Amino acid sequence: MSNAGFSSQNGAGGQPYANGPTQGAFPVQPVSQGYGLPGQLGYHNQVPAKGPMPPGPGLYNAAPPVSAYQGSLMPPTMPVRPPMGGPLPPPMQPGQTPPPSQNSVPPPMATTNSYYPNAQNPPVSSWNYGPRPPPPMGMATPPPGNHVTSSPSPVPNPASQGFSAPPPGPNTSMAPGPPLPPSSLSSWSQPGSVPPPPMNAMSPQPYQYGPPPTGPPPPAMRPTPPPTMPPGTATPPPAMPPQNEGMRQTHTPTSQVPNSFEGGEGGYTHPPTSQPGPPLGRPGGHAYPSLPPGYQNTAAPSGMPPSHLAPPYSAGPSAYQQPSMGAAQLSPSLAGLSLQSQTPDALRVVNLLQERNLLPPTAITPPTPPLPQDIQKLNCHPDVFRSTLTSIPQTQALLNKAKLPLGLLLHPFKDLSQLPVVTSSTIVRCRSCRTYINPFVNFLDQRRWKCNLCYRVNDVPEEFMYNPVSRSYGEPHKRPEVQNATIEFIAPSEYMLRPPQPAAYLFVLDVSHNAVQTGYIDVVCQSLLENLNALPGDTRTKIGFITFDTTIHFYNLQEGLSQPQMLIVSDLEDVFLPTPDSLLVNLNECKELVQDLLKSLPQMFSKTMETQCALGPALQAAFKLLSPTGGRMSVFQSQLPTLGVGALKSREDPNQRASAKDIQHLSPATDFYKKLALDCSGQQVAVDLFMLSSQYCDLASLGCISRYSAGSVYYYPSYHNQHNPAQTERFQKDLKRYLTRKIGFEAVMRIRCTKGLSIHTFHGNFFVRSTDLLSLPNVNPDAGFAVQMSIEENLTDMQVVSFQAALLYTSSKGERRIRVHTMCLPVVNSLSDIFAGADVQAITGLLASMAVDRSVAASMSDARDAMTNAVIDSLSSYRTAVLTIQQPGLLTPNCLRLFPLYILALLKQKAFRTGTSTRLDDRVFAMCQLKYQPLAYLMLMIHPALYRVDTLTDEGALNVNDRTIPQPGVLQLSVEKLSREGAFLMDAGTVMYLWVGRNCNPQFLTQVLGVPNYPAVPQSMTQLPELDTAESTRTRAFVGWLREQRPFYPTLHVIKDESQLKANFMQNMVEDRTESALSYYEFLLHVQQQISK
């Protein structure tokens, strides 16, 4: 077997890897480029990424000519405030704990401390958002590279500014590099726990297919709008590419082929089936929801941000009663689109130097694309699928001109309280590009539909004519597939190449002295004992355990034994499985033995003196054990691995933690973990790493085991059962969530988009199998993904484009399922329309991912410069190309008003900050989270939410399940917003701080904290007491409500002035100046200075 597959695409073997396909569809990987074990079959059928590729030029010519939909929305000029006399005074400084030099006067508007000495040169984008250098399309396109390509820039005058290092990082020169270096750091999920969501969140109510209508055929076929494309183009292309070549060849009964390659997902044509009537043998299948398929965020911990409390789809009383918006009506609707759906507020001009209070009082909602309401109503929810630009530029040249990144952010396996599930013998897909039928296709008539991605005209299968929901015939556009942008199919057998694997869980535990001392083994065993019956699975579920120190210990759990048997393997060079058949056992059959083991394990090593640990060999053993089935490997590790393969040495120099220079050792020290991860991926094994360490443990190296196997990393620095109760509490809650949340096995995800658009770099944890196919041995509901996109061909004739993410996985019950999300966005041809649709949070999230890659592949200063330049470039473009009336100040469109603030927050974030002491592992973990977190949680990590909580009232409160939830306003992150008389809650996503002022309202101290006075507030307080007071009830309701918005469990720290954690709290005050970083106002001045050059 050749390794060509991953070495070429994912860069194993030490090559710089492009974890993301290179641009342009190089269509097919060579067959049988498996990366599995020798002797095992790898992935055989490398089907072209987008289905049989070359349908000939004629195929795509069917694009409908569009004339009616003009993008120009509104005059770009809006009244602005008259300029004020000068810069605002600096933030006022409350008495306590001022950051140094806080009171100093901001630098004058035009200072000489330019970071970019080449003042003559216009700012140059420091990274290309597209995969190629921008074509010289009639505009002066600067070469890719950073602003500065020649001499190092002068350091800002510290004396006049009061900070010691330029925040955007050392501004050394750098060669214009390749567009964007591929990622080489993994990103990982947030540990989490909170009550688990329902196993399968879809409505369980099965829908009974009625018999097909008999008697006279449904008479009047509904007249459908005429085809909107030119006559003649509706004909399918003559040369019908064979759909299933490759697949059938390898689909032999003897093939031991993992399930999840694109077989079903990709270019596979399901055999023509024509069995209307009840499908057989799918208990609980064909379940249609009885409620409208929305994303109601009620009690279920679905992780909605606060802004989405209201059911987004509440407008529709029932999805199936919505007007039949299939795309049949798409074009007419668009034709009549008067664009009033676009909020003009997005383009209101804001002078950032004048307007200080830019944060909305409540959470920020994503922009709504300017689509007709009936289309938008069907669109995919932004929590699941989101674009940085909700209006897609017509050309790459236009995109380049806007200097905004184009990309998608996905949360594809998010827990949903309502999910329509369809069982059907035929899953209707485009015969050319394999797109799943969706709400945005175009029904030409009752028998034909036109694909919204490749424009091929397809036949409507006979079965699709019958709507099981309404039990009516002849209205294919009312099928649930055409009424729901998020839907799940139960896949028929052709989507499987082997029987779906059972749920398989292998736990690998470090039992060296160091690990045992932390006490974590008790927590893991206890949590497993409590949740053993809640592990997702069925009667086939398998479980196994491996422990390791200087040797590797296996546990024979075979049915019939009176107690578990420990088997020790001390040969670390050539690890073997002592009794391969009885180490990974059926959980149901061997539950008592498993429970015995979990009860005795914590004591078994309590006296150990082994300080070494052989993580690498243990991982190899675990891989061998899980390889035949695939599954999930959960690794608990407490220190640097010291023995055998994969042993590591400390690379961190504590003296460099506060360095303002470039950060070293962000990339792995060895490729052992990455290579093993790729082996795991090939055998459908994902590795989750729980790092419980007080010392440096080289997450940059160890994390690769999870990154490339689609696992997650959880990190508990300074973990100790007794000494660190907050950490222990988080670990317990995270474990519960981890063990009981939904899981998908042997998964692949493919992202398709309308022809002309192209997907390139991916961000997240996965292995890129082919140009648009991600291999995900496991998929979990807390994982986010991002992709960058470019515009390959002009979208001139298009009104809208669509994006579709299809996730094919095996459920823990052994069902093959496909979850499909489709998003439709308008195409625009003016810069002002592009800016009007900018989604500042999505842009920030994508830039954060790109910057992580950049800091690893190039340097931290490079990444920091690039982020700063992203602001400068886009606002510069806005000023010169959108604004028609020039005026002084730093001007942004309203929708981007938070862009500089978010970027400054990123520069001060643990991942990217310099000049502030930051442990290397903490930094690497933050980078992982930036790439792996779904956007809603990511934003809290970047820009925490600050609330005053000693004055909570019921005014404007929410009412959720009979609980009254106060809704205090969000405050700016500046000490000027604090007061000694108050108490303030900071929600930073994974952690919350409740800062109590020295003169805090005594009422709050007694009624909420249960202490008589300020000195009595404990130094370490992580719980709010349950007091029977209105204040306590309100405060706990608010904190509890915030926690319910996310699936993992943020710990709460009550802090006061003396607390050690106060520094963490203050470091999140991103608007303030620190010794090493600019204040927000200074940053704005810097940006303005660069723009006006």
| Inter-residue contact 148 to 866 (CB < 8 Å) | no
**Which residue number, 60 or 1014, has a Cβ lying nearer to Zn ion?**
60
CB of 456 to Zn ion, least distance (A): 5
CB of 698 to Zn ion, least distance (A): 46
Would you call 205 exposed, middle or buried from its count of C-beta atoms within 10 A (0-12, 13-18, 19+)? exposed
> Which phi and psi angles does 128 have, rounded to 5°?
-90, 130
Q: Is the dihedral of CA 135, 140, 145, 150 positive or negative?
A: positive
Question: Which H/E stretch holds residue 810?
Answer: strand 800-811
- Asked if 699 touches Zn ion (CB under 5 A), the answer is no
**Which residue number, 436 or 719, has a Cβ lying nearer to Zn ion?**
436
CB of 777 to Zn ion, least distance (A): 28
| Inter-residue contact 473 to 218 (CB < 8 Å) | yes
**Which residue number, 448 or 1056, has a Cβ lying nearer to Zn ion?**
448
Q: How distant, in Å, are the alpha carbons of 55, 529, 530, 562, 717 from that of 593? A: 58, 12, 15, 8, 33
Give the count of beta carbons closer than 10 Å to the beta carbon of residue 690: 25
**CA 724 – CA 727 distance, rounded (Å):** 5
- Asked if 938 touches Zn ion (CB under 5 A), the answer is no
**CA 302 – CA 781 distance, rounded (Å):** 9
Q: Name the segment binding Zn ion (CB under 5 A); options: 38-46, 427-435, 730-738, 1064-1072.
A: 427-435
Q: Nearest to residue 789, comparing CAs of 823, 826, 754?
A: 754
Binding mask 455-484 for Zn ion (x = CB under 5 A): -x----------------------------
**CA 499 – CA 210 distance, rounded (Å):** 29
- Contact with Zn ion (CB under 5 A): which of 297, 424, 435, 758? 435
CB of 270 to Zn ion, least distance (A): 15
**CA 712 – CA 587 distance, rounded (Å):** 24
- Asked if 454 touches Zn ion (CB under 5 A), the answer is yes
**Which residue number, 185 or 433, has a Cβ lying nearer to Zn ion?**
433
CB of 59 to Zn ion, least distance (A): 9
DSSP string, 1030-1084: HHHHHHHHHHHHHHHTSSS--EEEEE-TT-TTHHHHHHT-TTS--SSS--HHHHH
CB of 429 to Zn ion, least distance (A): 8
Q: Name the segment binding Zn ion (CB under 5 A); options: 174-182, 444-452, 463-471, 736-744.
A: 444-452
Residue 464 CB partners (closer than 8 Å, separation 6+): 426, 428, 437, 476, 479
**Which residue number, 266 or 646, has a Cβ lying nearer to Zn ion?**
266
Residue with token string 């949590």: 527
**Which residue number, 456 or 913, has a Cβ lying nearer to Zn ion?**
456
CB of 55 to Zn ion, least distance (A): 9
CB of 515 to Zn ion, least distance (A): 53
**CA 72 – CA 35 distance, rounded (Å):** 50
Q: Name the segment binding Zn ion (CB under 5 A); options: 422-430, 746-754, 828-836, 960-968.
A: 422-430
**Which residue number, 440 or 1038, has a Cβ lying nearer to Zn ion?**
440
**Which residue number, 62 or 454, has a Cβ lying nearer to Zn ion?**
454
CB of 433 to Zn ion, least distance (A): 3
**CA 776 – CA 505 distance, rounded (Å):** 16
- Tokens describing residue 984: 């303030």
Would you call 1030 exposed, middle or buried from its count of C-beta atoms within 10 A (0-12, 13-18, 19+)? middle
Binding to Zn ion in span 172-191, by CB under 5 A: none
| Inter-residue contact 9 to 17 (CB < 8 Å) | yes
- Contact with Zn ion (CB under 5 A): which of 47, 165, 409, 453? 453
- Asked if 12 touches Zn ion (CB under 5 A), the answer is no
**CA 508 – CA 490 distance, rounded (Å):** 33
Q: Nearest to residue 379, comparing CAs of 804, 834, 839, 896?
A: 804
**Which residue number, 239 or 310, has a Cβ lying nearer to Zn ion?**
239
**CA 150 – CA 121 distance, rounded (Å):** 12
**Which residue number, 747 or 753, has a Cβ lying nearer to Zn ion?**
753
Q: Name the segment binding Zn ion (CB under 5 A); options: 74-82, 454-462, 532-540, 662-670.
A: 454-462
**Which residue number, 114 or 432, has a Cβ lying nearer to Zn ion?**
432
**CA 543 – CA 565 distance, rounded (Å):** 15
Binding to Zn ion in span 781-800, by CB under 5 A: none
CB of 50 to Zn ion, least distance (A): 9
CB of 431 to Zn ion, least distance (A): 8
Binding mask 1003-1032 for Zn ion (x = CB under 5 A): ------------------------------
Strands (E), 72-115: none
- Asked if 433 touches Zn ion (CB under 5 A), the answer is yes
- Asked if 452 touches Zn ion (CB under 5 A), the answer is no
CB of 374 to Zn ion, least distance (A): 23
Q: Name the segment binding Zn ion (CB under 5 A); options: 279-287, 448-456, 527-535, 926-934.
A: 448-456
CB of 327 to Zn ion, least distance (A): 13
**Which residue number, 455 or 766, has a Cβ lying nearer to Zn ion?**
455
**Which residue number, 457 or 975, has a Cβ lying nearer to Zn ion?**
457
- Asked if 451 touches Zn ion (CB under 5 A), the answer is yes
**CA 615 – CA 15 distance, rounded (Å):** 24
> Which phi and psi angles does 442 have, rounded to 5°?
-115, 120
| Inter-residue contact 59 to 274 (CB < 8 Å) | no
**Which residue number, 428 or 692, has a Cβ lying nearer to Zn ion?**
428
869 conformational bin, left if phi > 0, alpha if psi -120 to 50, beta if neither = alpha
Binding mask 348-367 for Zn ion (x = CB under 5 A): --------------------
CB of 754 to Zn ion, least distance (A): 9
- Asked if 757 touches Zn ion (CB under 5 A), the answer is no
Q: How distant, in Å, are the alpha carbons of 234, 345, 508, 672, 680 from that of 687? A: 48, 46, 10, 14, 8
**Which residue number, 456 or 816, has a Cβ lying nearer to Zn ion?**
456
**Which residue number, 638 or 771, has a Cβ lying nearer to Zn ion?**
771
**Which residue number, 456 or 1034, has a Cβ lying nearer to Zn ion?**
456
CB of 386 to Zn ion, least distance (A): 23
Q: Name the segment binding Zn ion (CB under 5 A); options: 122-130, 452-460, 519-527, 771-779.
A: 452-460
- Contact with Zn ion (CB under 5 A): which of 161, 171, 379, 432? 432
CB of 489 to Zn ion, least distance (A): 17
Residue 295 CB partners (closer than 8 Å, separation 6+): 302, 304, 308, 311, 312, 313, 381, 383, 384, 416, 417, 418
- Tokens describing residue 441: 């296709």
CB of 490 to Zn ion, least distance (A): 23
CB of 432 to Zn ion, least distance (A): 5
- Asked if 430 touches Zn ion (CB under 5 A), the answer is yes
Q: Name the segment binding Zn ion (CB under 5 A); options: 56-64, 443-451, 579-587, 829-837.
A: 443-451
**Which residue number, 50 or 854, has a Cβ lying nearer to Zn ion?**
50
Give the count of beta carbons closer than 10 Å to the beta carbon of residue 172: 16
Please work out the total of residues on this chain that contact Zn ion, with binding judged by CB under 5 A.
8
**CA 21 – CA 121 distance, rounded (Å):** 33
Interacting residue ranges for Zn ion, rule: CB under 5 A: 430, 432-433, 435, 451, 453-454, 456
